[in-house]
Structure 1
Amino acid sequence: MGFVKNLVEQNVPGIYVLSLEIGKTIKEDVENSFFMNVNAQVELVCNILSKDKMLQTGYNAMGFSQGGQFLRAVAQRCPSPAMKNLISIGGQHQGIYGLPHCPGESSHICDWLREMLNLGAYRSLMQEHLVQAEYWHDPLNEELYRNKSIFLADINQERGVNGSYKENLMKLNKFVMVKFLKDSMVVPVDSEWFGFYKAGQAKDTYTLQESDLYHEDRLGLKVMDKAKKLEFLTVEGDHLQFSKEWFITKMIPYLK
């Protein structure tokens, strides 16, 4: 994130960049990305943003990987200060079903994480304390996902429509979603554009425009799509693998 922060500052002179750290140290930030309840993380970020005097007239938000859907939750739940553009780089907006790789793949945390998700992602203990379980989306048991997911099912309005979530998201000028075409971490990769597996199996997928979420317009995405507020971009690389040139050409314009 330090590299990204510097890159933005170099290419947008005078810009103020806040890099969100969930914890007092880098070590805590990494641990919290696995073990801190996502709803608590979103609430923490909302408080940070509300107190930052530099952001009170509005700001652009950029989230990487799971940070993409976490910042979308911020946009939906915390309209003040106003988020102008939301850029999701490799975010999993319909969740994941599988975790073939994760940060620090060789570490014991990733092996343990896979075991816990396979054991029971929707158990209350897992949902409360395991970040990846909170956006685990089982297409073989959609009802269980809708009823037990404490984060993703909520922000995707699976149990009913919270009008403020929809209204707040629709206030965005642009919602930019970047998909990595050779992504080996996000399963299915279609989730980065709000697509997912068709119910009852884990092979064939649907697009955002084919989804119930879109046709029922629970988040206002259909209206936003018609108004050309949604941007769908691709990168040829693996998860979060992009060039400096690509970032400057494709991402910087949304920050100016």
Structure 2
Amino acid sequence: MVVVKAMKITTCFVLLCLVEITTQDPVPVVIWHGMGDSCCNPISMGSIKSLIEKQVQGIYVKSLEIGNNIAEDMENGFLMNVNDQITMACKLISNDSKLQNGYNSVGFSQGGQFLRAVAQRCPTPRMFNLVSVGGQHQGVYGFPKCPGDNSTLCNIVRKLLNYGAYVSFVQDHLVQAEYWQDPLNLDEYRNKSVFLADVNQERTKNPVYKENLLKLKNLVLVKFLQDTMVDPKESEWFGFYVPGQAKKLLSVFETPLYQQDWLGLKKLNETGRLHFLSSDSDHLRFTDDWFISNVINKFFK
């Protein structure tokens, strides 16, 4: 009889454990929009948030709002120093009680490299998976289009970039200048870039950046094969122009950033945690089915 009772207790204990496991809340998701967008636009980030919530029952999705309202959030995507934006994003994440046990993240366009900076600079709470959808991780060298409804801001960006991307005032106040990489003037870029050259370890190597990025379970890079927004589109996979000209391109595997493993990309790749995805479409022009199949089902469930 004693043996039978012990078996019953053990069985109940196992069942209780199974109930706890199956009822565990899904890992929350943090999303960050791109240039010309905002946290809560119903046809962009609002739609993505709803799509994730529909596909993963009970999931918490936080869309980062950089500013006190939607208008500020959109404007700050053009005119707020990126380092200040990263600091604000880290505070929003660390102060959210629903994110304290860790989270997955997905960044769209410039939001991709911004969330990568969050992973490098703010390891607590932990980011598990980072999905960069069209992020410009090696920067851009061109401004062919400007999304969003504010043509005035787009014109300001063009004028300031033409004035001089590495002029201190422009670097400190124009977001797009802070990830502008001029392959014809690399020394100036590396010396004066206030954001991209730092997070890409192109000046002083910060071992913490690499250590923190290697804490990711997966780094997912999405490139748009017909991209007319990002120049060069290879930047979405960490590729860029051969130094000294602006025609021939290097893949990520040919760059010193990868070969010397400044960020940990080589280690991530060798351990099966670096993923290269593509969409045969223009910038951010993916379908719900593509996003569900390639992102939600693989990395958020």
Fold similarity call, TM over 0.5: yes
Q: Paired residues, what number?
A: 256
The secondary structure found in structure 2 opposite 1:18 is strand
Whole-Å separation in 1 of the counterparts to 2:78 and 2:195 = 14
Q: 2:266 aligned with 1:225, yes or no?
A: no
- Output one character per residue of 1:11-61: Cα deviation in whole Å (capped at 9) or x when no partner: 000111111111122111110000000000000011111111111111001
- Output one character per residue of 1:54-78: Cα deviation in whole Å (capped at 9) or x when no partner: 1111100110000000000000000
Report the Cα offset of residue 156 of structure 1.
0.2
Q: 2:205 aligned with 1:167, yes or no?
A: no
Return the letter of the residue paired with 1:31: E
Report the Cα offset of residue 113 of structure 1.
1.2
Q: Which residue does the alignment assign to 1:141?
A: 185
Alignment of 1:244-255 (within 5 A): 244-253=288-297, 254-255=299-300
Q: Which residue does the alignment assign to 2:33?
A: none
Alignment of 1:34-73 (within 5 A): 34-73=78-117
Q: 2:146 aligned with 1:102, yes or no?
A: yes
Whole-Å separation in 1 of the counterparts to 2:54 and 2:148 = 29
Whole-Å separation in 1 of the counterparts to 2:126 and 2:253 = 27
Whole-Å separation in 2 of the counterparts to 1:144 and 1:212 = 18
Q: 2:145 aligned with 1:87, yes or no?
A: no
Which protein is bigger by CA-based radius of gyration? 2
Q: Which residue does the alignment assign to 2:10?
A: none
Return the letter of the residue paired with 2:131: I
Whole-Å separation in 2 of the counterparts to 1:102 and 1:96 = 13
Q: Please identify, of 155-164 and 101-110, the stretch whose mean Cα deviation from structure 2 is larger.
A: 101-110
Unmatched tracts of structure 2, length 5 or more: 1-44
Aligned alpha-carbon RMSD (Å): 1.0
Higher-RCO chain (CA-CA 8 Å, sequence separation at least 6): 1
TM-score with structure 1 setting the length: 0.98
Unmatched tracts of structure 1, length 5 or more: none
Whole-Å separation in 1 of the counterparts to 2:150 and 2:199 = 32
Q: Please identify, of 111-120 and 69-78, the stretch whose mean Cα deviation from structure 2 is larger.
A: 111-120
Whole-Å separation in 2 of the counterparts to 1:184 and 1:104 = 15
Q: 2:171 aligned with 1:124, yes or no?
A: no
The secondary structure found in structure 1 opposite 2:118 is helix
Identity %: 59
The secondary structure found in structure 2 opposite 1:200 is coil
Whole-Å separation in 1 of the counterparts to 2:157 and 2:61 = 32
Match 2:238 to one of 171, 189, 194: 194
Report the Cα offset of residue 109 of structure 1.
2.0
Q: Which residue does the alignment assign to 2:198?
A: 154
Q: Which residue does the alignment assign to 2:57?
A: 13
